[in-house]
């Protein structure tokens, strides 16, 4: 229980807040149990009156009362089912909200490491199973428990000797239910794990369909899916065998109760210790003792499924501790500066070390270096996606918290493989608009022009209302980058980050894009990450990174004179690129060199 402490606390807090539901449910179950057991006594009296030749009116009255009790029982059952449905739905709603809030408050690193399939299955299926704990097993156990209690009460009053004789059968059923529930718990864990693997396989198959087809990996995917699917099937079969075995085992014990009643009860009738109606009532009551015990045993085994769900939900809560809230409340007017910033992922070694970096509004700054040197990690720090292990961050000369940068209206970024939401192109761009004024449409239109989206937009049947599709499947890589750039521009950022942002765009379009950006360079600073040095030669400042450190910075000319690593990297690229003059003309066009 301790390891599930947070989940259990959420459940208890929910019960406290919705106490009226559970109080009403409690009394409805008590009434339902009473109205199931009490009418048996009325039938006993009616039978005794019949055998004794009593008044017909009295017999009719007893039968009428019996039917009235059944109607009340039906009403109580409706109320208990209604209240349980409300409680189960609200509890599921509460947990889904909490889990999503954990995702919102989780750090970027935590989200990056998370399994999408595990997150989906636990948020939907496990929470659903937890909600069912209230709507099905708990209510049914409660109903049968109160039927059992009332039946025992009336049985003891009727003939305690006969009751004691039948009691051991109930203990045998409970023991069997306890044993099966333990086995079921492990089976349900395995079933959920295999189910997660199916979801993961399906997500991977759809997301990586291009690579799977190109590299002919369908046989691999089929094998992964079949293994997971077979695992789920085996678990379901095991569950069916266990539940069926328990049900039929308890069914086999039922006749023994009847045998005891007929032998011992018949003897007590013959000796005058019990009436005929009393014996019939006893046989009826004993069924309401044995049956609830068997049902409680069965439902207890099923409740284990919800307990497994609680464990899995708790694991997800542990994955995403609320340790990082994006404030996004800092406004950058002119400068962002990093002093001695270092960062590493968890217990791994530091990825960037003692970084000193600055960028001002109207300035073009470039980050260059070999793959894996720490450029992308540095961008994550600048964007507030990760919290540095050490160092300071200043905005306009003032020390700030790293989380202040996350979601800041002054920052925008475009990545090499941007994510577009499965909505229209115009809606994707408008997501980042910072105002709801009448200027919104003109801002979007200008951004679409600057990012050179308009030319291909006119070729689409629905223009800007075209849905991009899941994973932006209806757009090319270059088109996705241009839409993402437009989305960044409508934000009117103080600092614009371009991480290989036009790598999939053709040269002519790229020139037009950078020409538009150059005309507005006084409105924002620009941080460019590019593997092609000739693409950033005209930057005001170039930072050369190696092994997570900035080893030199300056203009292209200064680095060529003072940094051997930069010079060697430039020379290697030039020998591969060939026509330097062509690139240089493009760079001059971009940055006005």
Domains of the chain: 2-319 (1.20.1560.10), 326-410+495-593 (3.40.50.300), 420-492 (3.40.50.300)
Contact 451, 489 (CB under 8 A): yes
Q: Tens of pLDDT along 284-298?
A: 777 767 767 666 666
Contact 413, 465 (CB under 8 A): no
Q: Tens of pLDDT along 123-182?
A: 777 887 777 776 776 777 777 777 777 777 777 777 777 677 777 776 777 677 667 766
**139-207 vs 218-260: helix crossing angle, rounded to 10:** 170
For 208-263, where are the alpha helices, taking DSSP H only? 209-214, 218-260
**What pTM, to 2 d.p., does this model score?**
0.73
Q: Tens of pLDDT along 222-281?
A: 888 888 888 888 887 887 777 777 767 766 766 777 777 777 777 777 777 777 777 777
Closest alpha carbon to 41 in 57, 65, 60: 65
**Residue 92 pLDDT level (bands cut at 50, 70, 90):** confident
Among 25-34, 195-204, 520-529, name the one with the lowest average pLDDT.
195-204
Check residue 338 and give its pLDDT: 94
DSSP string across 252-313: HHHHHHHHHIIIIIHHHHHTTSS-HHHHHHHHHHHHHHHHHHHHHHHHHHHHHHHHHHHHHH
User: Helix %, strand %, coil % for the chain, to 5?
Assistant: 65, 10, 20
Q: Tens of pLDDT along 528-540?
A: 998 777 778 888 9
Check residue 586 and give its pLDDT: 42
- Using DSSP bridges, classify how beta strands 525-529 and 495-499 pair: parallel, antiparallel or unpaired: parallel
CA distances, 432 to each of 122, 420, 443, 567 (Å): 31, 12, 11, 39
Residue that wins the pLDDT comparison between 34 and 554 = 554
Sequence-ordered list of residues with C-beta below 8 angstroms from that of 591, at least 6 positions apart, any chain: 364, 514, 518, 538, 539
**Residue 337 pLDDT level (bands cut at 50, 70, 90):** very high
Sequence-ordered list of residues with C-beta below 8 angstroms from that of 30, at least 6 positions apart, any chain: 146
3-state secondary structure of 94: helix
CA distances, 56 to each of 18, 61, 276, 280, 417 (Å): 49, 9, 18, 20, 87
Ramachandran assignment for 372, one of left (phi > 0), alpha (psi -120 to 50 degrees), beta (any other):
left
- Percentage of the chain beyond pLDDT 70 is 85
Average pLDDT over residues 434-446: 77
Check residue 131 and give its pLDDT: 76
Contact 580, 527 (CB under 8 A): no
In this structure, the chain runs to a length of 593
């Amino acid at each position: 229980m301790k390891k599930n402490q947070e989940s259990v606390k959420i459940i208890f807090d929910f019960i406290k807040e919705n106490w009226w539901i559970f109080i009403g449910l409690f009394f409805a179950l008590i009434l339902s149990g009473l109205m199931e057991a009490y009418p048996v006594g009325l039938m006993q009296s009616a039978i005794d009156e019949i055998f004794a030749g009593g008044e017909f009116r009295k017999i009719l009255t007893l039968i009428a009362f019996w039917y009235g009790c059944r109607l009340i029982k039906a009403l109580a059952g409706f109320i208990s089912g209604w209240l349980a449905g409300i409680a189960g739905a609200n509890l599921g709603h509460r947990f889904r909200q909490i889990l999503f809030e954990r995702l919102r408050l989780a750090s970027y690193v935590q989200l990056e490491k998370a399994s999408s399939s595990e997150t989906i299955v636990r948020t939907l299926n496990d929470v659903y199973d937890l909600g069912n704990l209230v709507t099905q097993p708990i209510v049914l156990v409660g109903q049968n428990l109160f039927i059992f209690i009332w039946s025992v009460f009336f049985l003891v009053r009727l003939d305690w000797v006969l009751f004691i004789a039948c009691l051991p059968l109930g203990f045998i059923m409970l023991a069997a239910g306890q044993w099966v529930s333990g086995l079921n718990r492990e089976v349900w864990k395995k079933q959920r794990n295999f189910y997660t693997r199916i979801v993961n396989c399906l997500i991977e198959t759809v997301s990586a369909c291009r690579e799977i087809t190109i590299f002919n990996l369908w046989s691999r995917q089929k094998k992964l899916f079949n293994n997971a699917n077979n695992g789920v099937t085996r678990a379901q079969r095991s569950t069916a065998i266990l539940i069926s075995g328990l049900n039929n085992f308890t069914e086999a014990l039922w006749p023994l109760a009847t045998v005891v009643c007929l032998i011992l009860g018949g003897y007590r009738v013959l000796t005058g210790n019990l009436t005929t109606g009393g014996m019939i009532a006893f046989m009826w009551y004993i069924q309401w003792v044995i049956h609830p015990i068997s049902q409680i045993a069965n439902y207890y085994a099923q409740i284990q499924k919800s307990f497994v769900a609680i464990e899995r939900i708790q694991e997800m809560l542990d994955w995403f501790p609320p340790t990082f809230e994006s404030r996004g409340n800092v406004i950058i007017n002119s400068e962002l500066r990093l002093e001695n910033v270092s960062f590493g992922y968890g217990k791994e070694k530091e990825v960037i070390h003692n970084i000193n970096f600055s960028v001002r509004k109207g300035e073009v700054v470039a980050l260059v270096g070999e793959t894996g040197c720490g450029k992308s990690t540095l961008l994550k720090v600048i964007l507030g996606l990760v919290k540095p292990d050490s160092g300071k961050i200043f905005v306009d000369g003032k020390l700030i918290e790293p989380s202040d940068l996350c979601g800041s209206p002054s920052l925008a970024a475009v990545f090499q493989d941007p994510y577009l939401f499965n909505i229209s192109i115009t809606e994707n761009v408008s997501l980042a608009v910072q105002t709801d004024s009448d200027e919104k449409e003109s801002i979007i239109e200008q951004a679409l022009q600057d990012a050179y989206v308009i030319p291909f937009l006119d070729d689409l049947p629905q223009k800007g209302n075209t849905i991009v599709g899941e994973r932006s499947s209806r757009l090319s890589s270059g088109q996705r980058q241009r839409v993402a750039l437009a989305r960044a521009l409508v934000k009117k950022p103080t600092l614009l980050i371009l991480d290989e942002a036009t790598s999939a765009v053709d040269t002519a379009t790229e020139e037009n894009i950078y020409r538009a950006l150059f005309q507005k360079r006084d409105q924002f600073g620009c941080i460019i990450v590019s593997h092609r040095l000739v693409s950033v030669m005209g930057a005001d400042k170039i930072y050369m990174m190696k092994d997570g450190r900035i080893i030199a910075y300056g203009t292209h000319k200064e680095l060529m004179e003072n940094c051997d690593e930069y010079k060697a990297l430039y020379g290697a690229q030039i020998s591969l690129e060939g026509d330097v003059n062509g690139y240089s003309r493009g760079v001059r066009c971009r940055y006005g060199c």
